[in-house]
């Protein structure tokens, strides 16, 4: 066992992977009460970097993924050269499965450490991200290959799991217009910013900000507005605590000083 069990074990599943058999033990954990939200950070996921935070920090794309892709291509070629059903062919098939398992483990490791850093090292108890499923962004904004590279879905899932486990908050907001709106004055750029333009230049208030930093700030403000019950409805990942959050009066502004302190623009203009 690679780490001690927490809670009561409820179910054991045996899983056969390329590298061997594994026992997956599910444990029941007591419900962790949500902490009061005091420190929030938002992330904008992208292709030039894995993500950019609302504080302007960037996390690079993991380099190993490209390397892993190259190696997978080689393995596939080897398999294709061999006679189907032969011993050597089976060996190649196994090598591919093993490679994919290792890649998945590396991805898990990368995402786990990143999520841990955002919550624990940075001491945030609220993490906000965009909800890519609510828009067609996947199709129209990014290349699908980059999406699989960056594995944001796994990142969001893990961010939600850790929030639930540790009593933190994870929310996802509709990313619509978050890259097209000034996070300082809230006005939308009259001309659509293409992906190639990496700096947001506001022609109304003169703000000049890294494109992804600006988007991350807007993502944070959208969630803040949703918290205050103004305009936005976020996807609440911690559905279990949804009513709890309402009971605790999270809609009230007093609970959300942290968001207000961030110099929120008067009109977000992120709606239509
Ligand atoms: Zn502006």
Q: Which domains does the chain have, with CATH numbers?
A: 36-61+108-260 (3.30.420)
Residue 142, pLDDT > 70, answer no
pLDDT of residue 121: 85
Higher per-residue pLDDT: 136 or 194: 194
Tell how far the Cα of 7 is from the centroid of ligand 1, in angstroms. Answer: 50
Higher per-residue pLDDT: 167 or 30: 167
pLDDT of residue 49: 87
Band (1; pLDDT cuts 50, 70, 90): low
Band (265; pLDDT cuts 50, 70, 90): very low
Residue 82, pLDDT > 80, answer yes
pLDDT of residue 239: 28
- Residues 6 or more apart in contact with residue 176 via CB below 8 angstroms: 135, 270
- Assess whether 212 carries a catalytic annotation: yes
Band (129; pLDDT cuts 50, 70, 90): very high
Residue 50, pLDDT > 60, answer yes
Tell how far the Cα of 233 is from the centroid of ligand 1, in angstroms. Answer: 24
pLDDT of residue 11: 86
Higher per-residue pLDDT: 216 or 65: 216
- Residues 6 or more apart in contact with residue 255 via CB below 8 angstroms: 36, 37, 227, 248, 249
Q: How far apart are CA 103 and CA 67, in angstroms?
A: 10
pLDDT of residue 150: 53
Tell how far the Cα of 16 is from the centroid of ligand 1, in angstroms. Answer: 55
Tell how far the Cα of 153 is from the centroid of ligand 1, in angstroms. Answer: 31
Average pLDDT estimate for 151-169: 89
Average pLDDT estimate for 209-230: 85
Higher per-residue pLDDT: 212 or 264: 212
- Assess whether 8 carries a catalytic annotation: no
Tell how far the Cα of 200 is from the centroid of ligand 1, in angstroms. Answer: 9
pLDDT of residue 69: 81
Which one from 59, 60, 130, 164 is the annotated catalytic residue? 130
Residue 80, pLDDT > 90, answer yes
Q: How far apart are CA 149 and CA 135, in angstroms?
A: 19
- Assess whether 44 carries a catalytic annotation: yes
pLDDT of residue 153: 82
Most confidently modeled range among 55-69, 91-105, 214-228: 91-105
Which one from 109, 212, 230, 252 is the annotated catalytic residue? 212
Average pLDDT estimate for 181-198: 89
Tell how far the Cα of 192 is from the centroid of ligand 1, in angstroms. Answer: 15
Band (84; pLDDT cuts 50, 70, 90): very high
Which structure tokens are listed for 13?
């599943």
Residue 264, pLDDT > 70, answer no
């Amino acid at each position: 066992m690679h780490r001690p069990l927490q809670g009561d074990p409820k179910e054991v599943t045996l899983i056969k992977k390329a590298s061997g058999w594994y026992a997956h033990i599910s444990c029941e954990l007591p419900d962790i009460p949500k902490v009061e939200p005091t420190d929030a950070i938002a992330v904008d996921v992208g292709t030039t970097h894995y993500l950019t935070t609302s504080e302007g920090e960037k996390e690079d794309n993991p380099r190993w993924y490209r390397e892993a892709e190259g190696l997978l291509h080689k393995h596939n070629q080897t398999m294709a050269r061999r006679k189907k059903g032969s011993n050597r062919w089976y060996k190649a098939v196994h090598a591919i499965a093993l490679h994919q398992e290792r890649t998945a483990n590396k991805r898990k490791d990368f995402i786990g450490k990143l999520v841990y850093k955002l919550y624990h090292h940075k001491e945030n108890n609220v993490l906000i991200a965009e909800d890519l499923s609510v828009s067609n962004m996947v199709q129209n904004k990014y290349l699908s290959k980059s999406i699989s590279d960056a594995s944001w879905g796994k990142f969001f899932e893990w961010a939600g799991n850790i929030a639930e486990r540790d009593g933190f908050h994870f929310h996802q907001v509709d990313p619509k217009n978050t890259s097209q709106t000034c996070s300082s004055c809230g006005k939308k750029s009259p001309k659509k910013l293409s992906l190639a333009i990496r700096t947001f230049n506001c022609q109304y208030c003169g703000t000049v900000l890294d494109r992804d930093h600006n988007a991350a700030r807007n993502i944070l403000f959208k969630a803040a507005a949703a918290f205050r019950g103004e305009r936005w409805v976020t996807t609440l990942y911690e559905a279990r605590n949804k009513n709890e959050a309402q009971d605790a009066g999270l809609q009230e502004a007093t609970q959300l000083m942290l968001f207000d302190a961030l110099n929120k623009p008067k009109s977000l203009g992120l709606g239509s």
